[in-house]
Amino acid sequence: MRAMETAEEYERIARSVGFLPIHALDVSRQVWRTWPICAGRVLKGLIRNADHRRFLLREGGPNRVFALTLPRIWLAYLTGSMRYGILTYQRPN
């Protein structure tokens, strides 16, 4: 599995293909609440619905990885090890 790039790495990549950074906005505080909501909904589905359990936990299913990753993403936002940013670049004329 490949790790996500840092903002600095994205800037290096953008510059390497001719783009110039214009603006970077960290919106982590606005989006971190998404993850406990998602985790709660998945947990409720697992508890209440056998179809949800089969769908999310079947061996080799693509959604299994997402369900198992939710707590890690939530923790990454809580600890600051994961950030959500909006990066704006411009191609020079």
Helix (H) or strand (E) holding 89: strand 85-90
Q: Is residue 80 part of a domain?
A: yes
Query: d(Cα 85, Cα 6) in Å, to the nearest integer?
Result: 10
Q: Is residue 43 part of a domain?
A: yes
Q: Is residue 2 part of a domain?
A: no
Its domain, for residue 20, covers: 7-90
Q: Is residue 54 part of a domain?
A: yes
Which pTM value belongs to this model? 0.69
68-80 tens-digit pLDDT: 788 888 899 999 8
35-70 tens-digit pLDDT: 889 889 988 988 999 988 888 777 777 777 777 788
Number of domains in the chain: 1
Q: Is residue 32 part of a domain?
A: yes
Q: What angle do CA 20, 81, 34 make, to 5 degrees?
A: 90
